Amino acid sequence: MTSAPQPDFVFVPFGGVGEIGMNLALYGYGPPRARKWLMVDCGLGFPGADLPGIDVVFPDIAFVEKIAKDLVAICITHAHEDHIGALATLWPKLKCKVYATPFATGLLEVRRLNEPGAPKINIIPVHAGSVLDLDPFTVEYVAVAHSIPEANALAITTPLGRILHTGDWKIDPEPGVGNRINEARLRALGDEGVDVLICDSTNILREGDSFSESDVARVLRPLIAEATGLVVVTTFASNVARLRAIAEAALACGRTVVVAGRAMDRVVQVARECGYLDGLPGFHSPDMLANLQRHKVVLIATGSQGEPRAAMMRASLNDHPAIKLARGDRVIFSSRAIPGNQREVHRIINNLCNLGVEVITDQDHLVHCSGHPRRGEVAQMYDWVRPKSAVPVHGEAHHLTQHVAFARSRGVEHVISARDGDMVQLLPGPPAIINQVPSGRLLKDGDVVISEQDGAVRERSKLAFAGVISIALAVDKKGDLVGDPDVTFAGVPKKGKFGEDMGEVVDEALFATFEGLPRARRRDADQISTAIERSVRGAVNSVWGKKPLVHVMVVST
C-alpha cells in the first residue's frame, strides 16, 4: 500500500523576487493536492522604457485564481503601493478576507472614494502584536520600522514550523512617526525557533547601518530656517515621518506649510485621522500661495521621482497654475531617485537651475535616508532570529545573489536563491525549489488590464522606434486601381539619407509592386496587402536604415 501524501509548507513569490516592487507572495500548507494558502501583500510595479504607454504593472495571479477557494486570507504588511497598489484590481478575482493596519486601510479607502468603480473591500483591522488564527496558519504581526507608519513583519506558523517574513524594514531608534522595530519580540522568536527567514534584500549591497529619520530631521531644520525665499521640499508622499519633520521645521521658523499633489493630500488626510500629525497646524493648498509671503512658506510637493504630471515637473517647466518658482528660491530633494527614474529627476533639477533656483539633494546634505536595512542591520536580524534556513526576497538578481552569499557568511546552512514563480518547499527538511508555477506581469494600459504577451505593447515599441506608414487603396473586380492610394506617415522622416523624398519612395514602391502583380493576384486583397507591405518596408529601409510598420488596407469595389 502507498502512504497518503504528507503535508508540506511552501512559499511561492509572484513579484518582488527578481525585481524591485510588485510584491506578492503565497504561503501554502497541506498535502500537495489539498493545500490551504495565505497571500502576503498585493503590490504593483512601475514600468520601464520597455513598456511605452503602460501606467502600472501588476503580478499575474492566474495560479492564485485557480486556488482561490483555498485562499484563507490576504495579510498586508504595510501601505506602500508596491505592497498594496494592486489590491483594488486583483481582489475582485479572489474575494477573500483582507487584514491590514488602520493606516493602510485608510489609504485604501481614500483612494477607493476617488476612483469610480473601485471595489469596496471589507478590511479587517490589525495592529502590531495582533495574532490571527487563519487555520492552518497562525500569523503574528511584529512591529518594524520603515519609511511609512505601521509596517510589520509576519511570523507565520504551521504544524510543521515557523517562518519570519520581514516585509520592508530597517532598524531606526528614532523613526519620528510609526513603529520602532520590536527587537525584544524578534529575539524571543529566535529563542522559540525560526525555521526560515524570508528577508528584504533592497539595500544588501550597502555596507554599515542606514541613517535615522531623526538624523534627516536635524539636517532639514537649518536648511529651511536659513533660506531667504520660498522653500520647496519634494519627497515620497507616504513618508509621514518626513512630512512631520518638514512641518515642524517650518513651524519653528514661522513658515506656513502648503501641500501640492493628490497623493500627498491623501496621505495627509489619513495621517491626521490616525493622529500622526497631531499638534501641527493645518496645511494649505497651492491656491493659497498667491496670498502668502514667499519667504514665509514651505511647500511640500509630489514628483520627487520625475513623474511628468506631478507638481515638481510642472513647476520646473513653469507650467503649474499656482506654483511659480523664481531666483532665490530653494528646492530640497528629500529623496533618492529610484533606478530608472534618474533621467527625469535630472531633467527637473536642470530645469530648476535654469530658473535660478537653488537645488539641494542627498549628494549635498543628509536630506534623505532609506527605509530598508543595510548589511549591518541585516546582520543584526540574523543574529536576533538565528534562522535555520533563509530565502532572500525583495530585490533584483544582483541583490538576491549578494544576499545569498551574505546569509551563508552569517552561518545559515541552507539558503535558497528563488525567483518569481518558483515553488520553494520550506518544510519539512531543508528548503528546496520543487516546482514552478505560471507567473508574469499584467499591464494597466489606460483603463484596461492586458497580458504581458499582448501584441499592443510590442507594436507600440516598434512604433516608437521606426514609426508607421498607412496605405489605403481601392481595387475593382478587374484588378485595376480605382483612384489614387491614400498614404499617411507618422514618425517617419520626410527625406532619406541622400535627400530622397520619402513620399516618392513609397509611391514608387507601391505602384511598381502593384503593377508587377499578375492580374489574378490583384483580385486577392490579402496578396496585394502582403506584397505592398514588404516592398514599401524594404524601399524605406534602403533610404532610411529603419523598417517602419507598414499597414495596407485594400478595399474591393
Question: What pLDDT score was predicted for residue 398?
Answer: 97
The torsion region of residue 386 among left (phi > 0), alpha (psi -120 to 50) and beta comes to: left
- Distance CA(91)–CA(40), nearest Å, equals 13
More confident residue, 449 or 266: 266
User: Above 90 in pLDDT, residue 338?
Assistant: no
Mean residue pLDDT of the chain comes to 94
Mean pLDDT on 49-55: 78
Q: CA of 200: how far to CAs of 190, 196, 396, in Å?
A: 18, 13, 11
Question: What pLDDT score was predicted for residue 84?
Answer: 97
* In 491-537, beta strands by DSSP E: none
CATH number, domain 215-360: 3.40.50.10710
More confident residue, 4 or 249: 249
Q: Which helix (H) or strand (E) holds 436?
A: strand 432-436
More confident residue, 124 or 2: 124
pLDDT in tens, 273-318: 999 999 999 999 999 999 999 999 999 999 999 888 899 999 999 9
Q: How many helices (H) and strands (E) does the chain have?
A: 16, 28
More confident residue, 380 or 51: 380
User: Above 70 in pLDDT, residue 2?
Assistant: no
Question: What pLDDT score was predicted for residue 517?
Answer: 93
The superfamily (CATH) of domain 8-208+370-440 is: Ribonuclease Z/Hydroxyacylglutathione hydrolase-like (3.60.15.10)
Task: Please give the angle made by the CA atoms of 335, 341 and 347, to the nearest 5 degrees.
Answer: 90
With residues binned 3-state (H G I as helix, E B as strand, rest as coil), the percentages for the chain, rounded to 5, are 35, 25, 40
pLDDT in tens, 167-203: 999 999 999 998 999 999 999 999 999 999 999 999 9
CATH number, domain 455-556: 3.10.20.580
Q: Is 349 strand, coil or helix?
A: helix
pLDDT in tens, 140-152: 999 999 999 999 9
Domain ranges of the chain: 8-208+370-440, 215-360, 455-556
Question: What pLDDT score was predicted for residue 461?
Answer: 81
